[in-house]
Structure 1
Amino acid sequence: MIRTILLTLLAAVITVVVGLTLWIFSAVGATSQNESVVNFTVAKGEGIRSIAGRLEKDQLISARLPWTLYTVLTGRHTSLIPGTYTFQTAVTGKAVVEQLVAGPTEEREVTVTIPEGERLEEIATILENKGVVDAAAFLSLTKQPSDFVQTWTTDLFASKPPTVDLEGYLFPDTYRFFENTPAETVVRRMIENTDRRLDATIRAKILTSGRSLHEILTLASILEMELKTPSDRAIAADLFLRRMAAGIALQSDATVNYVTGKSRLQPTIADTEVESPYNTYRNKGLPPGPIANPGLGAINAAITPTPNEFFFYLTAPGGQTIWSKTYEEHLTKKRRYLDS
């Protein structure tokens, strides 16, 4: 009889402990309800109850009691570092604890430079290596951005096909991010930068050009990857536009490299035959979307091309661009610069 009672009590205790544990971890795993960035200061000597109360008031945690229990039970309550912190939107109670233990925000802000011409995968790697965001989360959002794009309030995406990802729309620049920033915050910052850099003057020029913003970014991305100088890019922009008007394939090596994932100066014949809508050897006109994220120089070249009579070009091993007006001239120069 006594044994039965003891077992019953033990089972009850285990049930309560398990239930309490699940409740605590569920609460600290919940996402915060703060709709904007919150600056939060922990005073020197401030107790855990005071901190938890203010976190709850600022909507950074769902409830003070489970957060306090979690912090105490994990031994973190004695390791909270005084100072000022900046919390992004959609943070969990567990993440708040981790941040308070790691130290003030100022010590964990990092500078990240995204070079011109980087692809989404390359940007994701740079950001992850800096501790800013998980690469997989970043790529998940930028590769399938339909919900994200629909909430954008400007006309930046007006001409972007819904099936195309955010390649070309993340402005290459130097940014400052906090470690472990949510992917949506990072992507939004970069797109806002693009929106701001493509100011009214640039958009007016795009409108005058007769091409859409998406077409300009797509052409600019090819120019970014194909040529190195502003003057060469402006010449090539006119060349590409005239080839399209004449019904001639662009035959951009950069688009082939985008498809194959290689970085060849001169793709193989097999590479140029790979089936893909982005392969401009097999398909006429521009690819469905940008092949990289271009800078302002390439964008301006796409908007205001330099008129010329060239139809062909190649890049010599030393980086010099060699222009030709006819295919025969192009073949002669190809033998001279690339086949020797």
Structure 2
Amino acid sequence: MTDLFEAETASTTSLDMRRLQRRQRRATRRKWTLVASAVALVVLALGSSVAYSFVKSLSPSESAVADYTGAGSGSIQVVVEAGDTGADIAQTLYDAGVIASTEAFIVAWNQNPDSSSISAGYYFMQREMQASLALDQLLNPDYRDVRTLTVIEGKTLDTYYQKIADLTEYSLDDVKAAAADSAAIGLPAEANGNLEGWLFPSTYTFNPGVTPTDVLSKMVSTTVEVLDRNGVAPEDYERILTVASLVEREAGTDEDRPMIAGVIYNRLAIDMPLQLDSTVHYFAPSDSVFTSDADRAIDNPYNTYLYTGLPPGPIAAPGEASIQAAVNPTQHDYLYFVTVNLTTKETRYAVTYADHLKNVQLLQDWYAANGG
């Protein structure tokens, strides 16, 4: 019995010892795990700090970069090219002596949400400008160096040629020579080499050094854009421009444009001469609003008193309202129209020639009463 109890006691003691040893080992492992975790956190913190410092070193700091103060002085012209990034513009300004450092401009660029809207072109700047002020100046169209051309509706090529010569400082002969190169100015084949009516009336801006070919190309491409926008097929370009030019020269108000286009199409449908004074004035210019019997008797393909159908081409440059009228004329039965008041541009329409003559009398009465 004694041996039995002694063996059991010894066995229990050994078991307790092993349990104690396991606890000690676990405690040791936990201690080293905590030490390793602490070391890892220290390393991570140091790494993050180094990484942050590295990234920060790549970004311009407002307090660390060189920058001028004030709006600068003197005058210099800089060029922003199409597709230039903020860094490209910064380098251009720095090279020109406008800003003290590219970094200062990039800081201003990143802080201004409008920066990306800077347009390509030539700009008037000052030397030694504060970067943020230089950016503001590039965003202000008043500081852009442009050449502006405004051409109005209803004029012929000679008028536009002279305006282009004045704008570009090229001679009138140079402009005409450029206009004769249909391929260089992008004149569509449908025009058959006839530029009349293809120089869209609008206001255009160009950079310094613009050439007649540049201007003519832009005006022609704008005409194509307007025709396409209004659903005109390429094969109908010349016909629509011709009708629109007649509307442009005859209509006194926007309301009359589709009405007059309707009269033109009604006459064409029955092969009736258009009998438009505007076409006679095209080949026989006059200050009078009327045409003479002698003018209407001149044998000219543009004489719509002698020849049926449309004239060979446009007689002027139509605006978009007239193009829209030529595309979407008012549907009616009128074959005649006449402007009876040259001040208000009131226009009367008639189905029969007898009624038309009554309207013509209204014009003659107005003309007599107003010093005609």
TM-score range relative to shorter protein: 0.5 to 0.7
Structure-2 residue corresponding to 1:249: 273
Match of 2:172 among 132, 135, 138: 135
Aligned-partner Cα distance in 2 for 1:38–1:137:
32
Structure-2 residue corresponding to 1:119: 156
Asked which structure has the greater CA Rg, the reply is 2
Question: Does residue 159 of the first structure (1) align with residue 190 of the second (2)?
Answer: yes
Aligned-partner Cα distance in 2 for 1:307–1:337:
25
Contact 1:132 1:178 in 2 (8 A): no
3-state SS of paired residue (2:321): helix
What one-letter code is carried by the residue in structure 1 that aligns with 2:230? I
What one-letter code is carried by the residue in structure 2 that aligns with 1:329? D
Aligned-partner Cα distance in 2 for 1:259–1:140:
22
Question: Does residue 110 of the first structure (1) align with residue 138 of the second (2)?
Answer: no
3-state SS of paired residue (1:219): helix
Relative distance call for 1:237 and 1:85 in structure 2 (3 A) is closer
Question: Does residue 240 of the first structure (1) align with residue 264 of the second (2)?
Answer: yes
Unaligned runs of 5+ in 1: 1-35, 46-83, 87-105
CA RMSD of aligned residues (A): 3.0
Contact 2:245 2:317 in 1 (8 A): yes
Question: Does residue 332 of the first structure (1) align with residue 369 of the second (2)?
Answer: no
Contact 2:190 2:235 in 1 (8 A): no
Aligned-partner Cα distance in 2 for 1:111–1:215:
30
Contact 1:310 1:325 in 2 (8 A): yes
Relative distance call for 1:194 and 1:115 in structure 2 (3 A) is same
Correspondence 1:292-331 to 2 at 5 A? 292-316=316-340, 317-318=342-343, 319-331=345-357
Q: TM-score, normalised by structure 1?
A: 0.61
| Residue 146 (structure 1) shift | 4.1
Tell me the number of residue pairs that the alignment of Structure 1 and Structure 2 aligns.
235
Aligned-partner Cα distance in 2 for 1:188–1:37:
19
| Residue 269 (structure 1) shift | 1.2
Structure-2 residue corresponding to 1:202: 230
Structure-2 residue corresponding to 1:171: 200
Aligned-partner Cα distance in 2 for 1:306–1:325:
14
Instruction: Give the number of the structure with larger relative contact order, counting CA–CA contacts within 8 Å between residues 6 or more apart.
Output: 1
Percent identity reads 31
Contact 2:242 2:314 in 1 (8 A): yes
| Residue 337 (structure 1) shift | 1.9
3-state SS of paired residue (2:148): strand
Structure-2 residue corresponding to 1:288: 312
Structure-1 residue corresponding to 2:251: 227
| Residue 121 (structure 1) shift | 0.7
Structure-2 residue corresponding to 1:279: 303
| Residue 158 (structure 1) shift | 4.2
Aligned-partner Cα distance in 2 for 1:85–1:236:
45
Structure-1 residue corresponding to 2:220: 191
What one-letter code is carried by the residue in structure 2 that aligns with 1:191? V
3-state SS of paired residue (1:323): strand
3-state SS of paired residue (2:206): strand
Aligned-partner Cα distance in 2 for 1:270–1:180:
47
Correspondence 1:47-126 to 2 at 5 A? 109-126=146-163
What one-letter code is carried by the residue in structure 1 that aligns with 2:243? L
Contact 1:132 1:181 in 2 (8 A): no
